[in-house]
Structure 1
Amino acid sequence: MAESRHSLFRQFSKSEWHGFLKGVEKEGLRVDRNGFIAQTPHPKALGSTLTHPRITTDYSEALLELITPVCGSTDAMLESLTDIHQFVQQNLGDEVFWAASMPCELDGDESIPIAEYGTSNIGYLKHVYRQGLAVRYGRIMQSIAGAHYNLSLPDAFWEKWQQLLGDQQSLRDFKSEQYFWLIRNFRRRSWLLMLLFGASPALDASFVAGVKHDLGRFDERTWYGEHATSLRMGDLGYHNNAQASLNICFNELGTYTRTLDRAIHTTWPPYEAIGTRRGDEFIQINTSVLQIENEYYSAVRPKRTTEREEKPIQALEARGVEYIEVRCLDLDPFSPVGVNREQIDFLDLFLLDCLLCDSPRISDAECERLDDNYKDVVARGRDASLTLCQESGRVPVMEAASGLLDRLESLAELLDDWTGTRSYTTALVAQKESLANGVPSTRVLDAMRSSGLGHRDWVMEMSLRHQQALRDEAMAPDVLEAFRAMSRDSLAEQAQMEAHDTQPFEQFLADYLRS
């Protein structure tokens, strides 16, 4: 019998283990003091949303996205994320950085301003893409915020791992194959992350104004899912019918890029009926199922850093998978920066175990079962009667979750031994305690009830508390100056791009679509 991957991993020596490389992209809305989505432009002190390396916007002009650099430790990543938050909070004036995934008070689509990126062709392309999201799905869905966690392992690990497995491929192809091995197991277990980190069981009534739903009434301004963990990841959140038919294959890089490419080049009749222009204004990039790869909503993505104007598929095919992006994380409303230390260390442990366990190809039938498990936990993960489809049959959700956590104990102990810490066992214990005493979605509802506040007012209270804490902590002078320099440099870079950009956008778009 072939030696297990876990056994092979134990052949690393302490000196050969160099840890994880990690980063986070954290979104959040700017809101006014009444808890309404901000109508103001992106603060100039925060620089250019097109070119700033740490601060940009996602869908809306009001939806900030904060991006850490690649870091070699959880401490370094959280320190970087805190620095970015502090700089942002210092430059919001009277506005507040919303602490939850589900949005503040809205007043229909028109209250959500679409992000602007200047007059350069690449900047206008980003705006047109967002116009396309508006005409396809509406703006309401795009006002939701989350955290994306990026993880990779250094080449020194992959070289040793390839040697232990006796693999003869190029390192690039080997890494891509192994990252997809991880992704397949992630898809089998991603329901656990929704149970442990789902933190959006309630929403403001304005989010579902005029929409049919089956939520319960929390108070006159708030609806909630009685057993939901993450309304953000359910049918009211990132969901649409066109993408339900895509059947994107996560078994290997070639099938993944081919199925995504097909979606970008397959027209969709309802989008054809909309067209790409309204008068002289471009309102979507094309009429395909997907305008670009980023339109595909998934809990996980294989990623490769792109060059400017390079498409994600091109980067993956040219240079292989560089890192994994976990996209299903709700913001932690109890944390000033939206994520917490035990969560990050647990994710490292969880993702490493996905790499070290057997990971056969996922059949169409298994794919359906995995999707059902994920949807069930999102919709009613806190229902004690919920069962999940496992290899052994139907298993109660809490029993399945406890079983997965128990199997991580020996790996956590090994990593702690190698790193001389208790970080991984501490993170694992924290998740076990969460299962026993109340997962974040339970804690959110309990906190709302104990405060006597609905979603908007409770999140506003938490947001103001976080804002005060971050503003009270002074930034180191050199860090503050570095951020001010990034803002100045990004504005100058955008201006230079716009000054040298003479190609008509129509021609630029045609070239982009042909590339």
Structure 2
Amino acid sequence: MTNGVLHGIAPPVLAGFADAEGRRILAGGYVGLEKEALRVNAEGSVATTPHPAELGSALTHPSITTDFSEALLELVTPAMGSSADVLALLDDLHRFVYRHIDDERLWATSMPCVLHGGARIPLAQYGGSNAARMKTVYRRGLGNRYGRVMQIIAGVHFNYSVDEAVWPRLAELPGVAGVAVQGGEQALRSERYMGMVRNLQRLGWLVPYLFGASPAVCKSFVQDAGTDLESFDDRTYYYPYATSLRMGDIGYQNRQEEGTGMKACYDSLDAYIKSLTWAIETPCPQYETIGVKVNGIYEQLNDHVLQIENEYYSSVRPKQLTNWMERPTLALRRRGVRYVELRSLDVNAYHPLGIEAEQMCFLRLLMLYSLLTDSPRIAARERRAIDANQVLAAHRGREPGLRLQAGDAMPTLRDWALGVLDAMQPLAELLDAGSDCGYARSLSVQRAKVLDPALTPSARMLTEMRERGEGFAELARRLTEQHRESFLAAAPTPERDAWLQDLTATSLDRQRAIEAADAIDFDEFLRRYFAQSEAHPVDLPAPV
């Protein structure tokens, strides 16, 4: 890496996977999706109805849950080897949901519309157990800290992990073997995944440019009367060259850093865990004014810099599966990084699922490229450049001649993007020899967007709005209705429907078991939760 610009994968790394088995291993791995969608009424306003019981328990259902609001659905797939299988399940989840939300719709875009203030946005509810109450209190805290309107922005999270057979191969390569010898495969896995996270941050501006689909917002969303957003029409704000306002200054973007001094460190897994742990354990005067338990009601879980780990917003996160009530940082400490979650994707408004196969193919390629490319630690100056580049790409990404900061250099976004795509070409060709995904083809599609910004989703949205005389809300409502008709046209297969019905029933049974197992009050539950440490597992037995 020179001047902050990533170069290609070192030839010895590619050579280490050039045989047929190596290509198969690299092309393997697992992907999963978490797709958020706001339930709205026919007019496009946020639904105030409860999460439908026919969808199961939002607390325990593995594939249908809620995020901040009772109205913000989150559809989750397990990790699968095939992107096609992931999309097929996501499609069936949408069809299943639509058959149980009556006349409501799933909003087609990331940014909500027809808002009437935060007070009208219902917090997600998860039942009567202590675990359920903790989830709701955490969300009440988010609303008190950052406002409820920000919390109902929807996105798509792309989860990726490589085939486990990658690690022994990497361990044999020059410069890698030492890590494997000293710390074993878990240490190598965590080191390389943290390197992936750093590189994905360096290239974070590329994702909103290529896939951003929120160049405009409803004026009802913007709370700041002094905004410099331009008026598209009497109900819509925009920036002429914006790609993803969701990922810009008006979105929920690291708001907790304002006045708290919080910045996660990605130098290593240990540094990352320590920075988040500090934030969870350190009181913050800014949040002390809210209070914790006020007149018998919890307004937040605590008054610390972060209530829990998930509060820290980042475009990309290292993740590990957690056990019952296990803190995520402790799961990472005990078992290392299992997968990486890319969180910067807008909902693709032009596809009913919010994401399509070609996007997933490119994202797999980008994440694997980021894993295999050298990844130095991020110094303070580069950290500032990374943050600035992301906002520039979000607000002005299609602007002709826009320059980003890369060390001492100031390349244009166009030139830098073309350089990155060119550097990914050898990996794409290697992967295509071991799979039928079409990695080189996906690169060509993205290269065309760089050469012609009019091909990006953000440009397409603004063009359609102008040609049709639509504001953002009208565009979103039109696409929402199209997607709704598509999902209602056919039900899931009988086998898939029966499986989803079984998941629903099982999740409700599981919620009842959790509620029946509670033997302590909520105050003691929280005390035990936050008292857990690496040496002492959480003293909250999992219900049978």
TM-score w.r.t. the length of structure 1 is: 0.97
TM-aligned CA distance change 1:271 to 1:391, over 3 Å: closer
Moved more, 10-19 or 87-96: 10-19
- The 3 A distance-change label for structure 1 pair 380 and 426 is same
Report the Cα offset of residue 183 of structure 1: 1.3
Q: Is 1:457 paired with 2:474?
A: yes
Residue 128, structure 1, aligned to residue 137, structure 2 = yes
What's the offset of the Cα at 1:104? 2.3
Partner of 1:200: 214
Q: Which moved more, 1:123-132 or 1:438-447?
A: 438-447
What is the letter of the counterpart of residue 207 of structure 1?
A: F
Contact 2:382 2:407 in 1 (8 A): no
Which of 480, 484, 499 is the aligned partner of 1:467?
Answer: 484
AA aligned to 1:364 is A
* Shift in alpha-carbon separation, 1:429–1:501, aligned structure 2, 3 A: same
Question: 1:241: Cα distance to partner?
Answer: 4.7
Distance 1:347 1:312 in 2: 25
Offset from partner CA, 1:399-427 (integer Å, 9 cap, x none): 211121122112111110111x2610121
Describe the superposition over 1:115-136 as per-residue Cα deviations: whole angstroms up to 9, x where unpaired.
0011100000000000000111
CA distance in 1, matches of 2:499, 2:340: 29
Does 2:269 correspond to 1:253?
yes
Cα RMSD for the two superposed structures: 1.5
Matched, 1:160 2:169: yes
Map of 1:480 onto structure 2: 497
The aligned residue for residue 14 of structure 2 is 9
The Cα of 1:312 is off from its aligned counterpart by: 0.4
Report the secondary structure of 1:383's partner residue: coil
Change (3 A) 1:40 1:6: farther
In the TM superposition, 1:57-136 aligns within 5 A as 57-136=66-145
Aligned-partner residue type, residue 256 of structure 1? Y
- What secondary structure does 1:206 align onto? coil
Aligned position for 1:329: 345
Q: 1:379 aligns with which of 372, 390, 395?
A: 395
Residue 404 of structure 2 aligns to a residue whose secondary structure is: strand
Q: Is the 8 A contact 1:233 1:378 kept in 2?
A: yes
1:190 partner SS: coil
Name the aligned partner's letter for residue 26 of structure 1: K
The answer as to whether partners of 1:416 and 1:425 remain within 8 angstroms in 2 is yes
Task: Determine the C-alpha separation between the residues in 2 that align with 1:502 and 1:273.
Answer: 32
- Measured in 2, the distance between the counterparts of 1:458 and 1:267 equals 44
For residues 322 and 493 of structure 2, the distance between their equivalents in structure 1, rounded to whole angstroms, comes to 32
| TM superposition outliers: structure 1 runs of 4+ over 4 Å | none
> What does 1:62-461 align with in structure 2 at a 5 Å threshold?
62-164=71-173, 165-166=176-177, 167-168=180-181, 169-209=183-223, 211-239=225-253, 241-244=255-258, 245-391=261-407, 393-419=409-435, 421=436, 423-435=438-450, 436=452, 437-461=454-478
Q: Deviations over 1:339-374 (max 9, x none)?
A: 111111101111111122221111111111121111
Of 35, 38, 41, which aligns to 2:50? Answer: 41
Segments of 5+ residues of structure 2 without an aligned counterpart are 1-7, 533-544
- Contact 1:46–1:91 under 8 Å retained in 2: yes
Q: Given the alignment of the two structures, is residue 22 of structure 1 paired with residue 38 of structure 2, yes or no?
A: no
2: CA distance between counterparts of 1:6 and 1:116? 52
Query: C-alpha distance in 1, partners of 2:11/2:268?
Result: 22
What residue identity is the alignment partner of 1:319? R
- In 1, Cα distance between the equivalents of 2:60 and 2:256? 32
Range 135-144 or range 182-191, more displaced: 182-191
Maintained 8 Å contact 2:96/2:491: no
Give 1:211 deviation, angstroms: 3.8
5+ long unaligned stretches in structure 1: none
* Deviation at residue 474 of structure 1 after TM alignment: 2.9
- Give the superposition deviation at 1:473: 2.5
In 1, distance between residues paired with 2:88 and 2:242? 32
Question: What is the letter of the counterpart of residue 91 of structure 2?
Answer: T
Q: Any conservation in 2 of the 1:204–1:456 contact (CA below 8 Å)?
A: yes
Q: CA deviation at 1:451?
A: 2.3
Distance (whole Å) between structure 2 residues aligned to residue 119 and residue 415 of structure 1: 49
Say if 2:265 and 2:275, in contact at 8 Å, map to a contact too. Answer: yes
Determine the C-alpha separation between the residues in 1 that align with 2:223 and 2:266. 36
CA contact (8 A) 2:317 2:342 kept: yes
- Residue type matched to 1:494 in 2? Q
**Distance across 2 between alignment mates of 1:160 and 1:356:** 12
For the 8 Å contact 2:35–2:155, the answer to whether it is kept is yes
| Count of residue pairs the alignment pairs up | 512
> Displacement, 1:209?
4.4
Equivalent-residue separation in structure 2 for 1:376 and 1:398 (angstroms)? 13
TM (norm. structure 2) is 0.92
User: Do the aligned partners of 2:144 and 2:299 also contact (CA within 8 Å) in 1?
Assistant: yes
Alpha-carbon contact 2:217-2:238 (below 8 Å) kept: yes
1:290 partner amino acid: L
> Any idea what the Cα deviations from partners look like across 1:267-323, whole Å, max 9, x if unmatched?
111211111022111110000010000000001000000012001001000000000
Q: How many angstroms does 1:390 deviate by?
A: 2.2
Percent identical among aligned pairs is 42
Pair 241,41 (structure 1): closer, same or farther in 2 beyond 3 Å:
closer
